[in-house]
Amino acid sequence: MAHALRLAQRGLGNVWPNPAVGSVLVRDGRIVGRGWTQTGGRPHAERMALDQAGEAARGATAYVTLEPCAHEGRTPPCANALIKAGVARVVTALTDPDPRTAGQGHAMLRAAGIEVTEDVLSAEARHLQRGFLLRVTEARPMVTLKLACSLDGRIATASGESQWITGPAARQHTHLLRLRHDAIMVGGGTARADRPSLNVRGFGPRRQPVRVIVSSGELPDLPPEGEDFGPILRASGPVQDILRDLAAHGITRVLCEGGGGLAAQLLAADLVDDLVIYSAGMVLGGDGAAAVAALGLTGLAQGPRLQFRRAFRVGPDLCQIWSRDGG
């Protein structure tokens, strides 16, 4: 299952509105098939693993990071495909909350005499697939807030100079972060001041993330949608409403790259699932622009709190990841 989760990760940012699922087929102690959800969400992970295994799937154990689907899509349900291939046992991490499956995939497998084991590495699977889970159960995507700031949490000097606080390695690392998200969101001020590309470069052909500009004002000229750039969605209003609209579009994972106003709105509404902070070894002082605008806290207890997950060096800078759930 740990290996299936690693495979699932390959689909993050590339498969919305679907979840990024991974699957491993094992027979006689050997891996005979590996699959992960493909670009745009199809083929599903199990289909890919079964195609790879061919006849070797007969009598095998299938590890899947999500309950196999029970609905007829562009191809028959994965539960049927596993039954037809003669798999002996299926091990899953999570029940699929999609109402078209929601336990029926497991039931179909059991009815066909297949041994089913559920909830294996479920915490890890929930963390990896939380964008999809949130979209289906809470009608919002997961949100990652990225900040690149000085040691004292500033993103620009008083005169507005911001390029560059962090080094090239951190900026390259941001592309890895973008790669794993369906949409990149920025405020109008950031879009006008930085003209960010909001695309993914250097990882071969991928689905480009949707560019979401939160502004009711004028938008700068941005490169048109194409091979190197995703569609542009313009949004305004409360962040809760914006996220609900994005989920309705099928978006499961959003990366917010600033500015401070949008960051403050997301934090105040308790909508930040992951906070990624790149800190550069410099100090900009209290007259610089804060990475997070005023929150209007009237007490310490109101300050949003996050759980530490990990930290690592990126070139000369430090990257810290904090999560709402810590899991």
Cis amide bond preceding 17, omega within 30: yes
Q: Of 186, 161, 192, which Cα lies nearest the Cα of 174? A: 186
Q: Does 154 bind Zn ion (CB under 5 A)?
A: no
How far is Cα 278 from Cα 302, in angstroms, rounded to an integer? 24
Dihedral-angle region of residue 280 (phi above 0 means left; psi in -120 to 50 means alpha; beta otherwise): beta
115 is catalytic: no
Q: Are 8 and 37 in contact (CB under 8 A)?
A: yes
Token digits of residue 122: 């479920």
The continuous run of DSSP H or E covering 183 comes out as strand 183-187
Residue 256, annotated as binding a ligand: no
Cβ closest to Zn ion, residue 64 vs residue 267:
64
Q: Does 94 bind Zn ion (CB under 5 A)?
A: no
CB of 24 to Zn ion, least distance (A): 15
Which positions from 302 through 321 interact with ligand AOF, judged by CB under 6 A? none
Please report, as a single letter, which amino acid is at residue 189: G
CB of 116 to ligand AOF, least distance (A): 14
Residue 162, annotated as binding a ligand: yes
Which of 27, 73, 231, 304 binds ligand AOF (CB under 6 A)? It is 73
CB of 281 to ligand AOF, least distance (A): 42
Which positions from 157 through 196 interact with Zn ion, judged by CB under 5 A? none
Estimate the crossing angle of helix 45-53 against helix 2-9, to 10 degrees.
Answer: 110
How far is Cα 285 from Cα 302, in angstroms, rounded to an integer? 25
The continuous run of DSSP H or E covering 175 comes out as helix 168-179
Cβ closest to Zn ion, residue 44 vs residue 178:
44
How far is Cα 163 from Cα 289, in angstroms, rounded to an integer? 13
Residue 313, annotated as binding a ligand: no
The continuous run of DSSP H or E covering 190 comes out as helix 188-194
Which of 53, 69, 109, 143 binds Zn ion (CB under 5 A)? It is 69
Residue 28, annotated as binding a ligand: no
CB of 97 to ligand AOF, least distance (A): 8
Q: Does 257 bind ligand AOF (CB under 6 A)?
A: no
Near ligand AOF by CB under 6 A, which window of 34-42, 107-115, 140-148, 185-193? 34-42
Report helix, strand or coil for 135.
helix
Cβ closest to Zn ion, residue 104 vs residue 150:
104
Q: Does 13 bind ligand AOF (CB under 6 A)?
A: no
Q: Does 66 bind ligand AOF (CB under 6 A)?
A: yes
Q: Which of 46, 67, 118, 138 is catalytic?
A: 46
Q: Does 44 bind Zn ion (CB under 5 A)?
A: yes
Token digits of residue 101: 């499956």
> Residue 196 binds which entry of Zn ion, ligand AOF, none, with Cβ cut-offs from 5 to 8 Å by kind?
none
CB of 46 to ligand AOF, least distance (A): 5
CB of 168 to ligand AOF, least distance (A): 35
Q: Does 106 bind ligand AOF (CB under 6 A)?
A: no
3-class SS letters over 252-319: CEEEECCCHHHHHHHHHCCCCCEEEEEEECCCCCCCCEECCCCCCCCCHHHCCCCEEEEEEEECCEEE
Residues assigned a catalytic role: 46
Which residues are at the interface with Zn ion (CB under 5 A)?
A: 44, 69, 78
Which residues are at the interface with ligand AOF (CB under 6 A)?
A: 18-19, 21, 37, 41-42, 44-46, 66, 68-69, 73, 78, 96, 98, 101
- Binding-site residues for NADP(+) sit at 148, 164, 190, 194, 216
